[in-house]
Structure 1
């Protein structure tokens, strides 16, 4: 009579086999998903819950020594003319993200920014916390903002920066559905923070900047103009080209990784 050999598999071994398979699947997803991209060029990070997290562009992966500096305008205009003069002095074009409450108070200045060749982007109507709004309310914030910018300046904005830098999937999806690319920043100059001198601001930017970075400034920072001179002169000395954001980012065949770095496919 034949003896039947019984093979005993411990629970521990079964668990190891299962977790090993899951790990292989996870590695496959991480390797392949960024290469696939999507119809809208929005690439998600796969989380443990299966939720796809969308991210805006924080910076661009490039070997070219190109960077973008940008200005958010939602309060005051005391220093804006000086910023424009500095841009003219160094023959630079940049990107200004404008809020309707600012546009309504300074319509002529908005026109001048555009007439001097600077790019205009959306920063909403009322500078709200967008994550707490419905899709319809977010869409209205963006559409009304875009309409006012176009009515005042003739420019049709293509870029959008969320107020406070706050976003979620809903915000990015609505912006994308309206044809707006969501933009963050990789370096915050902190020119908005009390107690920061021009030297602090310049050092913070120059100590951290590299190819593809997007720097956040504000149009009405007390020491912004003073900080811009050493920043621009050092960047030029180091061989950098300063361009508007739309000239830094890719417009096709790209994906955005989980860190917000835009990369070519």
Structure 2
């Protein structure tokens, strides 16, 4: 009798766990009109924005960027490819030690929507395990290379434990138009508002030179700069058609 009671108890625990899981899913949706969306920005009354850097090539300015961020007392998010992690492991450790988010930018920077589900998982989890072994960090933020995604990419990322992240303010630093262009593009961007996610690249030619002015300009506008991990909602949210994450608890 005792044996059967334990079996029944175990079954109830499993069912209860499943119900909690299903209940959690019911409180979170990124599906809008049949499409799965990543997070482009966050609806918030707080005057906060997130600054992010994609690290897929080059490393000449990483330390300069870290020095400026430290000086300005700002924390950001770095999305790193597996190739970059392998080539610059000490910089990955330095980013983590400085208190910044470590984000996944895929293993080899391929167009994720052109890969099979299994290939997508491999692109995500290979660099995930590498960063975990190097720093102990279990990454949870994923930015698809080139901003390229479809429904399956978003679903695969979530299945691997990731929040898919895009941006609503593109610095265009990768076009190498110059320092002033980077500053003006960000500070005068039509989408810049509470909850914006700003895209930069650590390997772009003028980003490091523009960074201090960008940070001070954002602060002058009244914005607090936070890592993406501190900006997004983890549960009880839905998305609007523009990929803006909206809390259901307001």
Q: 2:160 aligns with which of 178, 187, 193?
A: 178
Question: Hey, what does 1:263 align to over in structure 2?
Answer: 246
Question: Hey, what does 2:121 align to over in structure 1?
Answer: 139
Q: Which runs of 5+ in 1 are unaligned?
A: 1-35, 47-51
For residue 188 of structure 1, report the CA deviation from its aligned partner. 0.7
1:235 paired with 2:235, answer no
Q: What are the equivalent positions in structure 2 for 1:33-44 lying under 5 Å apart?
A: 38-39=25-26, 41-44=28-31
| Mapped contact 1:58–1:185 kept (Cα < 8 A) | yes
Q: 2:86 aligns with which of 99, 104, 124?
A: 104
1:222 paired with 2:205, answer yes
CA deviation digits over 1:228-250, x for unaligned, max 9? Answer: 11111121122211000010111
1:115 paired with 2:115, answer no
Question: Hey, what does 1:27 align to over in structure 2?
Answer: none
CA separation in 2, counterparts of 1:182 and 1:37?
18
Q: What are the equivalent positions in structure 2 for 1:1-265 lying under 5 Å apart?
A: 38-39=25-26, 41-46=28-33, 52-194=34-176, 196-208=177-189, 209-265=192-248
User: How many equivalent pairs are there?
Assistant: 224
| Mapped contact 1:69–1:245 kept (Cα < 8 A) | yes
CA separation in 2, counterparts of 1:258 and 1:199?
32
| Mapped contact 1:37–1:43 kept (Cα < 8 A) | no
For residue 145 of structure 1, report the CA deviation from its aligned partner. 1.3
| Mapped contact 1:65–1:241 kept (Cα < 8 A) | yes
TM-score (norm 1): 0.82
For residue 93 of structure 1, report the CA deviation from its aligned partner. 0.8
Which structure is larger by alpha-carbon Rg, 1 or 2?
Answer: 1
- Structure 1 residue runs of 4 or more that deviate by more than 6 Å after TM superposition: none
CA separation in 2, counterparts of 1:146 and 1:42?
24
| Mapped contact 1:40–1:176 kept (Cα < 8 A) | no
CA separation in 1, counterparts of 2:137 and 2:72?
23
For residue 198 of structure 1, report the CA deviation from its aligned partner. 0.9
